Chain A
Amino acid sequence: MIVAVTASIRPLAAPARRDAAVGVAGVVVALVAWEVLARSLEGAFVLAAPTAVVVAIVDNGPLLGRALAATGSTALAGFVIGNLAAVALAGLAAAWPRSQRTVTGLALIVVCLPLVATAPLLRVLLGPGDGPQIALAALAVYYTTLIPLLVGLRAVPDTWLDLVRVAGRGAVTALVVVRARASVPYLAAGLQIAAPAAFLGAMVGEFTGAERGLGVLTIRASRDLDVDLTWALATIAAAVSMLAYAIVGMIGRAATGGQPPTILAAPRIAAGPGRVRRTLASTASAVVATIVLWWGGIILLGITPFVARTPLDVVGIFAGTRDGGLTRDALFAALCDTAVYVVPGYIAGLAAGVLLAVLIVLAPGASGAIMPVAVALRSVPIVTSAPLIVLLLGRGSLGAITLIAVMVFFPTLVACLHGLRQAPGQVLDVMAVYATAPWRVVVRARIPAMLPAFFAAARMSVPAAVLAVTVVEWLATGTGIGALMARSASLSNYDALAGAVVLVTAVAALGYAAVGAIETRMLARYAPEQAS
C-alpha cells in the first residue's frame, strides 16, 4: 500500500546539484556502514554485506535472471489489466457522477482486502499458473491509479466546464474534451506509484505456491537461512521496483512536459452539511456493490461450495449459527493479538514521519541526503523488506512494530514535507520580519499548513498498516490474524478465511473512516478551506 505522493522533481539547478551530490555521498556512506556492520555481525545470520550480495547475484545470475523475467512478466500483465480497469472505472465515475461514491467506496473495500487471505484464495480459484500473480498485481495497481485519476478528472477549473455547458454539451463531452486531457499528469503520477505496486502484487502471488519467480526464490532462501541470497533477492526486487518507479516517472514527465502533481490521497468521502447522511449512503452503496460482486462472482464463476462462502455464510459465522461461534471467537482473539502490533506501529510510523519532516524543514541541508532515499525506499515491496527486518530484529514484537512503522513512515514523511512547504510565503515573510525563531515558525505557520497532507497520509496509512501487520504476522511472528489467515488457507478452513477477510476489511475500512472523521473535525478548525 502506497500513498500516492509524488516528490516534485526540480530542474538540476545549482542547489539541486548540491543535493544530488549530498545524496550520492549519503548512499556511499550507507553502503560503507552496511559493509562494516555486516562484517562485524558475521556468523549471526542476519545481515549480508554489499560485497556478499554482489557475489550472490553473480553466482546465481541465470537463476535470478529467469526468476526476474517470470515476476516481471506477470507484474507487467497485472499492471496493464489493473490500469485499464482503473481508467475504465474512473471514466465511468466522471461521466456518471452519481456512481462516483460507489466506485470510490468499492475501491477502498478492495484495497482493504487482506492480501494474505486473498492470495491463497486466488491460488485455489485460479490454479497453479500465473493467474494469481497477475490478479494480485492488477488489484495492487487498480487503487493506486484509480484514486489519482479521479482526483485529476475532478481537478478542473469550473470555467472550463462552463465552456462545455454553455455549448449545451454534457458530462461525456466534458470528460472527452476537458477532463481526460487535464487528468493526464495525475494518471502519470498514479502509474508511477503503480509500477512498484504491480511488482509487490506479483511477488505476493508467488509466495502462495507459484512455480517460479523472485517470490518463490525468496521463500526458499529464507527457509534455507541463505542470508546472502535473501539479501541479494531483496536488493534485486528493491532495485527493479525503484527502476520501474523512475522509468515510469520519466515517461510521465516526458509525456506531460511538466512537474507531476502532488496527490495526497483520495478525497474524503463526504464533508460539509449532510455529511453523516451522505457517508451512510455511500457506505451502503459500496457494501451493496461488494455483496453483489461477491455473490454474483460465486454464481457466475461456479465456484465450488467447498471453497466459496456467501455473505449469508459469513453472517452465520459471526452469528455463531454455523459452529457455535468457535471461528468467530478465534477471529476476535487473533484480532486482539494483531492490535498489539498494529496500533503502536501505526502511531510510531506517523510520529517518526512528522518528526523527520519537521527536522528536514529546520535543517534543509539534510533533505538532499534523506529525500532521495525516502522516495526510493517507498517503492520497495513489503514482502522484500519483511524477511530482512525479521533477519535483523527477530520474529518478536519489535520486528513487527518496526515493519508497520516503516510502511507508515515513508508516505507520512513525504506527505508532511510537502505540507510543511505549503505554508503561505507571505505568512513566513511576516514572521521573518519579526525575526521569529525557526521552531516557532514551524509551530505557528508550517504545522497548521501541514495538517491536510498529514491527515491524508494518516488515512491512507490505515490500510497500509493492516497490510503490513498481516504480512509480518504471516511471514514472521506467526501470531494474530495474519497468521490465522495463512494457517486457515493451508488447512483449507474456508470458514475462518472468509470470516477473516470480512473482519480485516471491515476493521481497515472503519479505521480509515475514523481517521477521516478526526480529519474533518481538525480541518474544519485549522484549514476550513480544505474541509468541504
Chain B
Amino acid sequence: MAPDRRAGVTVTVDAATKVYPDGTEAVAPITLTLDPGRTTVLVGPSGCGKSTLLRMIAGLESATAGEVLVDGEPPTIVQRRGELAVAFQDPSLLPWRSVAANIALARELARLDRDDERVAELIDLVGLTGFAATKPAALSGGMRQRAAIARALATDPRLLLLDEPFGAVDELTRQQLARELPALWEGGGTTTLLVTHSVAEAVRLADRVIVLSPRPARVLADIPIKLPRPRRDSDPAADRLERAVVEALERGHAGGDAAQTGG
C-alpha cells in the first residue's frame, strides 16, 4: 500500500559526519532520530554546522561517514517521491514568477497537478490574500518568507525542513511569523525539522530542542518541550526551558563535554 502522503516519516541519523574537501569538519559523528509527526528544532551558535546537518537530511549534502535515512531509505529516494520540502533562510523565490506561480512550482517539480485551489488556499493561509499575481520584487521580506513557506507546504510533504526561515526578516515580522505559521504544519502529521539560533523561537515551536556545540556540530543537549499548544507568549515553564537551552549553549561555548539529556 502506498504510504499516506500526510503521515510523517522517521529520520535516522546514524553516526553521520561531514568533512569538506578542504578539511573543515562541519559535523562530528551525530546520532539522533526524528520521530514522525513531531517538530524538532536544532539550535546552536552561528556556523556550528546545523544547516549542514539539515542539508544532509534533505539529501543536498552527503555524509562523509555514517548515514542518514528517511523511513529506512536514503533522502534522495524520498526526494524523488516528492515527499520532502525545504524552506531556506533566503526565500529563493524565482523573480520572474508570481507568488502563485512560485508556490505552484513545488507541485510542478514534484510532478503533481498544479491544483490552483490548493495554491489559493495556501496563499490565504500564509496571509498573502490579494498578492497571488504579485512578483516577489514587489513584496516585503516577511511576505516573501511567507510565500516561501507556502511553497514548502504546497506538496503536503511528509518531511518538512526549515533552515532559519525567519532569519532574514526584522524582529517584529519574525515574531509574527513564528506565532502564525507553525499552525500550518503542526498537527498535520508532518515530521518537521527547524534550524534556528533563536532560543525563544526554538522553545515556542518545538516538541524537542536539540542543542548543538560550536563547529564541528555535536549534540550537547536533547531537551523535550512538553508545553501545551497553542503556546502562550509568556509562560514561566517556557522561561525555564529557555534557560536550560541557554545553559547548554553556554556549556558548549565553554568547551563542556557533550551531554545528552532526555530524548
Residues of A within 8 A of B (CB): 157, 159-160, 162-169, 173, 177-178, 181-182
Contacts and interface: CB of A to CB of B under 8 A. Distances in A.
A159 B92 contact: yes
A133 B56 CA distance: 55
A168 B76 contact: yes
Given A162-B60, A177-B105, A181-B94, A167 B88 contact: no
Contacts of A168: 76, 78-82, 110
Interface in B108-163: 108-110, 161
A166 B59 CA distance: 7
Does more than half of chain A's interface fall in helix, strand or loop, or is it mixed? Answer: helix
B41 interface: no
Contacts of B67: none
Contacts of B82: 167-168
Contacts of A169: 109
Interface residues of B, number: 23
26 contacts: A157-B90, A157-B92, A159-B88, A159-B90, A160-B94, A162-B86, A163-B86, A163-B105, A163-B109, A164-B109, A165-B60, A166-B59, A166-B60, A166-B79, A166-B84, A166-B85, A166-B161, A167-B82, A167-B106, A168-B76, A168-B79, A168-B81, A169-B109, A173-B109, A181-B94, A181-B96
A182 to B, nearest CB: 8
- Of A163, A173, A181, most buried by chain B (CB within 10 Å of CB) is A163
B134 to A, nearest CB: 15
A177 B88 CA distance: 19
A157 B92 CA distance: 8
B248 interface: no
B9 to A, nearest CB: 14
- Of A166, A168, A182, most buried by chain B (CB within 10 Å of CB) is A166
B94 A165 contact: no
B63 interface: no
Contact of A163 (B59, B76, B92): B92
Contacts of B43: none
A165 B79 CA distance: 8
B203 interface: no
A162 B76 CA distance: 12
Does more than half of chain B's interface fall in helix, strand or loop, or is it mixed? Answer: mixed
- Of A157, A164, A168, A169, most buried by chain B (CB within 10 Å of CB) is A168
A26 B205 CA distance: 65
B94 A166 contact: no
Contacts of B79: 165-168
A173 B94 CA distance: 14
Pick the 7 closest A-B CB pairs, nearest first.
A168-B80, A168-B79, A167-B109, A159-B92, A159-B88, A166-B86, A167-B110
Contacts of B99: none
A178 to B, nearest CB: 7
B58 interface: yes
A165 B59 contact: yes
B120 to A, nearest CB: 21
Nearest to A181: B96
Contacts of A177: 105, 108-109
A160 B106 contact: no
Contacts of A163: 86, 92, 105-106, 109
Contacts of A164: 109
Contacts of B85: 166
Nearest to B86: A166
B94 A178 contact: yes
A178 B105 CA distance: 10
B81 to A, nearest CB: 7
A164 B151 CA distance: 12
Nearest to A170: B80
Contacts of A165: 59-60, 79
A173 B58 CA distance: 18
